[in-house]
A and B are shown apart, each in its own frame.
Chain A
Amino acid sequence: MSMRTFSMGGIHPPENKISAGKAIEQVPLPAQVAILLNQHSGAPAVPLVQRGDRVKTGQLIAEAAGYISANIHSSVTGKVLKLDEVYDASGYRCQAVIIEVEPADEWAEEVVLNSTLKRDCTLSPEEIIQKIKEAGVVGMGGASFPSHVKLSPPPGTKPEVLIVNAAECEPYLTSDHQLMLEKGMEIIVGTKITMMALKVNRAVIAIENNKPDAIALLERLAIPYSQIDVMPLAVHYPQGGEKQLIEAVLGRHVPSGALPVVTGAIVLNVGSIFANYEAVQKNKPVIDRVVCVTGKSVKKPGNYLCRIGTSVQDLIDFAGGMPDSTAKVISGGPMMGKALINTQVPVTKGTSGILLMDGNEAHRNEVYNCIRCGDCIEACPMGLEPYLLMSLSELSEWEAMEKECIMNCIECGCCSYVCPSNRPLLDHLRVGKFKVGAIIRGRKNQ
C-alpha cells in the first residue's frame, strides 16, 4: 500500500526522533522571563505595561498592533523589570518585556484552571474567532502566523476543509507527536471548535506514518466525530509545508502567488488547534507550550512544557545541561530551524524544539563546483532549478531570478541537503528572494 504524499521532489532525511515517547514534563518556573513582542509574523505588539508593574499569569501585557499581529500575555506572575531589547532566534535585537518571576502563580481571573475536558461549545463563529484573537494564538509550527487572520479568509473565498497539520516532518522534533498522545481529546475538540469558526463540515488531521501510536489514538478518539478524519501520510520532508500538505491531503495545487484558501483548505498546526481549545474552552491565552530538547549528546532529551519567555539556557539545564561538545544550538528542526547566537534567547510561541549539535554535525563540508547533476531540481518540491538560481544570485541577476520563480521558494533546504558538491544553494536563494521581494514591493508602491 502506498501512502498519500505530495508529488514533486522532497527528501527523506534520517528521522532521529530521539525524544519520541517521552512524557511531557513541566519545566519549573525560571527566575526571569523575557517575553518578546514580535513572536508572530506581522507587526510587533504594543506593550501595555511599564517598568515596576506587577503582572499576573495570563494577563494581557501587549496588544496586537493592527490586523496582522497578535496579543501577548504574561506567562508568569511577577514584577516588570524593564522593557528592553534582547536577541531573538534570528539574531536580531527585539523589544521584550522582562519580568522577575514570583515563585507562585497568581492567574488572571478569567482563566479556568481545572483540566477537565470541556466538549461543548455554543459560541458563534465570530465569538470563537474573537476568543482565539484575544488569546494571541499563532501558528505554533514555527511560522507563527496569527490564527485569527487565518480563520477569517478574505471575502470571495470559501473554505471547505480544515487540515490539521500534524505531519511533524522535520527530523528530531517530537513536541507535536507527544502533545497528540497526551492531549488527544482536547485536540479533537479543538478541531471541532475550529471547524465551527470556519463554518466547514470536514476536517482532516494529517499525520506522518512514523507516528503510528498518535494515528491510532486520534482515529479512536475521532470515532464519535464523523466529520473529522485522521489521514496517515508517507514520511516525506517537507510535508508539513502548507502547499505540500494541501496537495498530499486533497490532491490540489495552490496556484503560484495565490492564498492557500483558494483550494478550499485552511491549514492549522496541531499545536495551534490545542491552543484554540484552551483559548475557547478555558479562556487560557498562549503562555506556555511544549518544546522538545533533543540532540545526540543531550543527557535528558524530552518534551518539556515551559512558559513563553523561558530562556533556552534554562530549558537546556533542565534537560541535563549543555554538553561540552555542543557547537550549535538550533531553535526548531535541522532542516528549517535557526541557529542561535547564544542560549539566552527566549522561547516564543513558535519554538517547537531546541536541537543541540556537536562540532562534527555542525560542520559544513568543503564546497566544490556544480557538476550539474540535477539532484537539486529533483529534490525541489516547488519545481525550481536551485543550481541556476544560485548562479543568478551570485551574479546579482535579480530580474532573471524573478522570471525563474524565486518567490515560489519555500526555503525547505532540500536542495542544499542533496547537493553532492555541498553548495550552499539555499543561502544564495534566500538572498535572491529577499532582493526580488524588495523589488516587487517597490514596483507595487510606484
Chain B
Amino acid sequence: MENKLYVSMSPHIHGGDSISRKMWDVIIALIPALLVSLYFFGLGSLLVTSVSIASCVLFEYLIARFLLKQESTLRDGSAILTGLLLAFNLPSNLPLWIVVIGALVAIGMAKMSFGGLGNNIFNPALVGRVFLLISFPQQMTSWPLPKPFNLHYLDAATGATPLSVMKSSRFDRLPDMLDMFIGNTGGSLGEVAAAALILGGLFLLIRKVITWHIPVSILLTVYIFTGILRVANPEVYADPLSHLLTGGLMLGAIFMATDYVTSPMVKKGQVIYGIGIGIITVCIRVFGSYPEGVSFAILMMNGVTPLINAYCKPKRFGEVKKK
C-alpha cells in the first residue's frame, strides 16, 4: 500500500461554524452599546472595561497554564466576552482593584473551577457582579450621571438612577423616555443604552447566534407583569415601558440570559426559563429590597436550567402518543 488513506466515520464534511465565530459575533454585537457608554461615561467606562477584559484574559491564562496545566483556551474569545460583559454590569466609577476582584471571581470561581467554558452552571460575568454587589454594596450602587466625554473617573458626579426613582414611586422624577432609550441616564456602564443593545440583539438574531425565545419571553413577561401592577395601582407602580428600558433588563435579556452554557437547550425550555427570569426580576424590583433584580433572576434560573433540560424534550419525529 503506497497510498495511505484517512479512514473515519461519516460525516466527512463540517459546516465550518466555530465557538470563536459565535463568541466574536457576540462581542461585535456589544460594540454599539460600548460606544454609547464611552460617550456618556467617558474615561471611567474606558478604564473599567479595559481592566475587566485584561484581567479576565490574564486569570484564564494563568489558571489554565499553572493550575489546570491545560492548553490555553483563550483563542475561543470567551474570556474577552466575559470581561466585556462583567464591565457592562459595573458602574463606571468603580475602583479598578474591585474590578480585578470581580474578574477573578468570574473566571476563577464561576468558570474555570467547573472545568472551563461549557461546564459552568452559572453565568460567570453575573457571578462576578453579584459577588461585588454583596461585598462592596456602597461602591457598586453609586452610579455616575451621564455627561458626554466625561474625563472624571473616581470623582465623577453621581446621582439617582431611574430604578431607585421607581423604587420610591416618584415617577415625576423619571428621566424622559427618549433619554432612557438612548442611554442618557445613570446606571451600570453597559446597561443604559437600550437602543444600542437592541441593535446588537438584532445582529445576533440575523447571524443566528441566538433565537428570539429567551429575550422575548423575558421582556414580554416583565411587560405584562408590571402592566398588571400598573393598572392595579398607578400611584405605587411604575409603567411597564419604564421597566423595560431601565436597569440591566435589556442587557440581561439579550446578552446575559442567552448565554449558551447556562440556558436551556430546547426552545420550550427557553421560554419557561425566560418567563421565570421575568417574574423573579419584577418581584425583586417591586417587592424586594434591591432596586434591581435581573442578575439575581438570571442566576436563579441558571440553577434551574439542568432541571428544565431534563423535563423539556424536543418533539421527537414520529412520537407515538401515549394512551
Contact = CB atoms under 8 A, between A and B. Distances in A.
Interface of A: 8, 11, 13, 91, 171, 243, 253-258, 322, 326-330, 332, 334-343, 355, 357, 361-362, 364-365, 368-375, 377, 380-385, 387-388, 405, 408, 411, 413, 416-422, 424, 426-427, 430
Interface stretch (B6-14, B87-95, B197-205, B219-227): B6-14
B19 A336 contact: no
A365 B18 CA distance: 10
30 contacts: A255-B318, A256-B320, A326-B3, A327-B5, A327-B6, A332-B10, A335-B11, A335-B13, A336-B10, A337-B12, A338-B10, A340-B7, A361-B13, A362-B12, A364-B14, A368-B19, A368-B117, A369-B118, A371-B117, A372-B260, A372-B263, A374-B265, A377-B265, A383-B314, A385-B266, A411-B10, A417-B15, A420-B19, A426-B9, A426-B11
Nearest to A412: B11
Interface in B248-281: 260-261, 263, 265-266
Contacts of A372: 118, 260-261, 263, 265
A420 B22 contact: yes
Given A369-B117, A421-B19, A382 B5 contact: no
Contacts of A382: 316-318
Contacts of B232: none
Given A256-B320, A368-B76, A420-B21, A377 B314 contact: yes
Contact of B260 (A339, A341, A361, A373): A373
B116 interface: yes
B15 A11 contact: yes
A335 B14 CA distance: 9
Nearest to B11: A413
Give the interface centre of A327, A337, A371, A385 by most chain B CB atoms within 10 Å. Answer: A371
A292 B213 CA distance: 44
B119 interface: yes
Q: Is the interface of B mostly helix, strand, loop or mixed?
A: loop
B5 A339 contact: yes
Nearest to B264: A374
Interface residues of B, number: 39
A254 B318 contact: yes
B117 A256 contact: no
Give the interface centre of A8, A257, A335, A383 by most chain B CB atoms within 10 Å. Answer: A383
Contacts of B317: 8, 243, 253, 256, 381-383, 408
B313 interface: yes
Nearest to A356: B5
Contacts of A369: 115-119
